[in-house]
Structure 1
Amino acid sequence: MSSMLSLRNVWVEYGEKVVLERVDLDIAERSFVSIVGPSGAGKSTLLRLLLGQEVPTRGRILLDGVPLKPECGPDRGVVFQRYSIFPHLDARHNVLFGLECAAAPFTGRLFGRARRIALDEADAMLAAVGLGDSGHVFPAHMSGGMQQRLSIAQALVKRPRILLLDEPFGALDPGIRADMHVLVTRLWREQALTIAMVTHDISEAFTLATRVLTLDKRRHDPHAPHRYGATAVYDLTLDRRVAAETAHTASITIDDNVNN
C-alpha cells in the first residue's frame, strides 16, 4: 500500500499551550488507523488537521505528496460522536443535501434529471448502510444506531477517499456498537476507504484497525505542563486475522503503559 497522508514535524500550539509536537507519520492508502491515548492528548486535534479544519502551527501535511489545503475537501468525510444530521429532513433528504450542495453550491438545489440521479445515489447509500427502508423516517423517530448509520451515509455519499471517525460509537449500547463495527468494516473494504478513527475503547481500536497509534506526551514538566505536546509514542501494525483474539491483552498492556 502506498502512503496517502504524510505528516512531517507537525506542531499545534494555541498561544503558550502546545497540543501536538514533533508528529511524523505516514498513513497508507486503504489502511484503517485507530488513534488512542489519554484525554487531552490531541487525538481530535489530529483528526481536525487531517480534515483540513485546522492547520499546523509548524510542519507540513501532505496528501498524495501535495500540501493539504486548509479546507474540508470532498475527498474527506467525517463522522462525529454527536450526530451531524438535520432534524427537519428525513433520511433520504439528509443524504441528498450533500449531493445538492456539491453540485449546486449557490442554490443548494438540483432539478429534473440531475435531481433524480442524486436521489438514486442517496437511496443506494441508505441501502448500503442498512437504511434502505427508512428513507422517509425523520431523525426524531430513529434509534441512536440508525442516526449514526445516517451520519455515515451522509459522509460517504460523495465518495470520499478518506473517512475520519471521532468517537463515532461512544454513545451506543454494546449490541448496536457491535453492529456498527460490522458495518464500518464492510464499508471500508467495499469502498476502498482509508480510515482514521479516534476511540477511547482499546478493544475496539485493536479489533477494527490495521494499525493503532497511541498519542501521549514524551516530555513532562510539572511546573509548565502546557509547554509540552503529545506525539505518537506507540505505533503498532496489526494482523487483522488475530487482532480480535489479542484485543483484551493489548488493552491491558496499553492501559498500563499509558498510566505509568
Structure 2
Amino acid sequence: MPMIQAKNLWKTYGDTVVLERLNISVNAGEFITMVGTSGCGKSTFLKMLLGMETPSSGELLLDGKTIPDEPDQARGIVFQQYSVFPHLTVLQNVMIAREFEHSPLLGKLFGQQKRKVMDEAKALLDSVGLSHALTRYPHELSGGMKQRLAIAQALIRKPRILLLDEPFGALDPGIRADMHQLILKLWQEHQLTVFMVTHDLSEGFYLGTRLWVFDKLRRDNQAPSAYGASITYDLPITKRTQELPPELTSITQAINSEPQS
C-alpha cells in the first residue's frame, strides 16, 4: 500500500478553487519536490499533508486512513522562516519537543530521562553540524545554522514524513549547496519520505526522486479563481543533475517570471 494517496482531491476557499482533481500515490522513502508559479497550491497541499488544512472534497490518505486533521509526531515540517525559539539555546531548542512530549504540563525533564533526551539532541545536532554551537542562542547563528537547527527540531521526534516549505529560499548559493548535501544525507540516514516545495526548478530536479509541477489545466480570464491547479507533470528522476530536460524550459520561464511569495 502506498504511504500517501490523494483521490480526486479538491481544495477551495469560498468561490476560489486552489487545487482540483489531484490523484497521486507516494511510496515510503520517496523524495517529492514540488514546483510551480506562486499561488498554484503547492504550500496548500503541504499544509494538508501536515493537517493544518483539510480537503474540501476527495480523500487524502496516510497508510490507507484519512490524514489526521492536526499535526502529529509522524509529520515534521521546516519553513523558509526559521521556526526557532529565540530565548532558548541551540540544545534547548531541540530538546524542548521531547520535553513536552514526555511532560506536557511542565515541559521539563529531570534526572536520567533528561540526560537521555540531552544525549539524543546532541547526537542529532552533531549530525547537522551544530555540535560546536550547543550553548549559543539563535541571534548568534547565521542563516544556514538557523535552518540546520530548524531541521534538527523537526527530526528530534523521529517523523516518518518531512515537509519542507521552501527551506533554503533565503540562503546564499554556497550555503544552499551545503544544505542540499545535508538534507540528502538526513533523508537517507533517517529513512524519511520527503515533500519539498521550491521555486527553484534546478533544485527540485537535483534533490527529488520525483518532481511534481503544479499548474492550471483550465483557465477562464473572466473568472481567474474558477479553476484550480493540479499536477501537470509527475517526472521520475533517475540521477542527480541540475540539467533540466527540454520539456521543462517553458515551465522554468513561467516560474521565473512570477513574483516570489
Report the counterpart of residue 45 of structure 1 in structure 2. Answer: 44
Q: Deviations over 1:162-198 (max 9, x none)?
A: 0000000000000000000000000001110000000
Aligned to 1:205: 204
2:195 match: 196
- Maintained 8 Å contact 2:32/2:196: yes
> In the superposition, relative to structure 1, how do residues 257 and 38 fare at CA in structure 2: closer, same or farther (>3 Å)?
closer
- Asked whether 1:23 is paired with 2:44, we answer no
Note the C-alpha offset of 1:246.
Answer: 2.7
Q: Quick one: which amino acid aligns to residue 110 of structure 1?
A: L
SS in 2 for 1:212: strand
- The normalised TM-score by structure 2 is 0.94
**In 2, are the aligned partners of 1:203 and 1:248 still within 8 Å (CA)?**
no
* Comparing 248-257 and 190-199, the one that deviates more: 248-257
**CA-CA distance at 1:256 after TM superposition:** 5.0
Displacement of 1:247 in angstroms is 3.4
SS of alignment partner, residue 183 of structure 1: helix
Paired residues of 1:207 and 1:247 also in contact (CA < 8 A): no
Structure 1 counterpart of 2:159, which letter? Answer: P
Q: Report the AA paired with residue 24 of structure 1.
A: N
**Separation in structure 2 between the aligned mates of residue 179 and residue 251 of structure 1, nearest angstrom:** 25
How do residues 147-162 of structure 1 correspond to structure 2 at under 5 angstroms? 147-162=146-161
- 1:207–1:125: structure 2 CA closer, same or farther, 3 Å change rule? same
Match of 1:219?
218
Using structure 1 for the length normalisation, give the TM-score.
Answer: 0.95
Q: Which amino acid aligns with 2:87?
A: H
Runs of 4+ in 1 over 3 A off after TM superposition: 247-251, 256-259
- Tell me what 1:145 maps to: 144
Q: Distance in 2 between matches of 1:217 and 1:247?
A: 21
State how far apart, in whole Å, the 2-side matches of 1:257 and 1:93 are: 43
Letter in 2 for 1:127: D
Q: Deviations over 1:89-110 (max 9, x none)?
A: 0100000011111111122111
Report the alpha carbon displacement of residue 67 of structure 1 after superposing the two structures with TM. 1.1
For structure 2, the residue ranges without an aligned partner over 5 or more in a row are none
Determine whether 1:252 maps to 2:249: yes
Q: Please tell me the residue identity of whatever aligns with 2:119.
A: D
Deviation track 1:9-51 (CA, whole Å, cap 9, x = no partner) reads 1111111111111111111110000000001100100000000
Tell me how far apart the structure 2 counterparts of residues 256 and 117 of structure 1 sit (CA, whole Å): 50
Q: Deviations over 1:205-234 (max 9, x none)?
A: 000000000011110011111111111011
Q: How does 1:44-123 map to 2 (within 5 A)?
A: 44-123=43-122
Aligned residues between the structures: 256
- Cα distance in 1 for residues equivalent to 2:218 and 2:20: 10
For the residues of structure 1 that align with 2:74 and 2:50, how far apart are their CA atoms?
Answer: 9
SS at match of 2:182: helix
Partner-residue secondary structure (3-state), 1:47: helix
